[in-house]
Amino acid sequence: MEFIYIPVRGTPDLTSFVAKLKRLKDKRDKRGKRHELAFVLGGVVLAIMAGRSYASSIYRFIQHRLKWLRRVLGYRAAKAVSRAQLPRILDGVDWADLNEILVEYWGVRIEVQEQEWHALDGKTLRGVAGQQERVLLAVSHNGRRTVAQQPMHGPKESEITAARVLLAETGLEKGKNTLDALHFNPQTTGQINQAGGWFVIQLKDNQPLLLAQLSQEAAAATPLGFLKTVDQGHGRLEIRQAIFFQISQLALDMRWAESGLATLIVMARRTTNLATQQHSAEVSFYCANVAVDPADTALQQELFQAIRGHWGVEADNYIRDVSFQEDKVRTKYANQAQVLASLRTVVMQLFREAGFVNFKAALETFADNPDQFEAFLVQYGFL
């Protein structure tokens, strides 16, 4: 497997993104080739930044803004790509070669920082027929930076082995990671623990015996500590409470011997709709390989925030689906979907670097104001 690493640009490569695109290998037959690959890809990224999602809409953006695109991308004689050609050109892009360009643009490698938590989360590209195309993302909790992404082909369970490879190849297995319940298995938890990393992973019915044992422990044992938050916004009142239990002393099945399961965190969340006064409640279980001392409230707070941070990263899927229409974009070709997903990540990275909170507002601003759009592209090294 090949991974793309996109850390914060602490020492940025001053070569612009467009200049790097011009070095991308074009494997199409030169006979009859009418469009430069860098111009097409640059146009697609700019179309995405201007709020265009569907191939037909991207095609119209390139067609209607051709004069502007020629100037900013540096192709004075470029022609607008046709609606029929656009998907085929995107599908023909070599994903690994495109990765190299993005690696050069964003940085060279990941540095696992001691205090940084990362969330691993899979995303199905539902616009592809059969829904067998997925992307696995590793995203920092602070700043929500995508530090690695991996295309996957096949059923959802393929994400399990892909995550193990990503953790090893990037070195994230030595850092602090949150994962969802799909990844709660002895091989993944053991890999992180034996590498010296930390994990917080949700426990669900995919591990029924362990869930039953820890549920009984939570009902009978004395808690190590409690944390509670109350948040109000978007017409809702949310009360969250975390209860911590020591589980390192329990006689667990031998298959968990290398996982270092040490702390159980029971998360209770109660939400009230302030307009209707309707209530909803849920209780979730999380396990960590970090021992918690009753007096160490700072560590309890860190684990509590790690769980909340994972929820926040999962919200990026909402941004992809709502702001960028990722799930609604129907694609005939699997590689086209993966290339578009990668280019959307580029846009999200640029928006994050610029400090944008409301992505929808940014998309509309750039669609309505070409001068401001161009100034942004220059400031953040796209042009």
Which tokens hold the place of 268?
């209770």
CA dihedral 185, 190, 195, 198 (to 10 degrees): 60
Give yes or no for residue 171 having a pLDDT over 70: yes
Q: What letters, b where the CB count within 10 A reaches 16 and e where it falls short, cover 161-196?
A: ebbbebbebbebbebbbbbbbbbbbbebbbbbbeee
- CB under 8 Å to 105, separation ≥6 — which residues? 13, 15, 17, 20, 381
What is the Cα–Cα distance from 38 to 299, expressed in whole angstroms?
48
* CA distance to 6, 105, 139, 172, 315, per residue, from 10 (Å): 11, 12, 17, 19, 26
Q: Are 227 and 242 in contact (CB under 8 A)?
A: yes
pTM of the model: 0.85
- CB under 8 Å to 159, separation ≥6 — which residues? 122, 134, 136, 152, 182, 183
Q: Are 309 and 141 in contact (CB under 8 A)?
A: yes
- Residue 25, Cβ neighbours under 10 Å: how many? 13
Q: pLDDT tens, 39-72?
A: 999 999 999 999 999 999 999 999 999 999 999 9
Q: pLDDT tens, 26-42?
A: 887 776 678 899 999 99
End-to-end CA distance of the chain: 31
Q: Are 109 and 98 in contact (CB under 8 A)?
A: no
Q: pLDDT tens, 222-279?
A: 999 999 999 888 788 889 999 999 999 999 999 999 999 999 999 999 988 888 888 8
Which tokens hold the place of 165?
């490879």
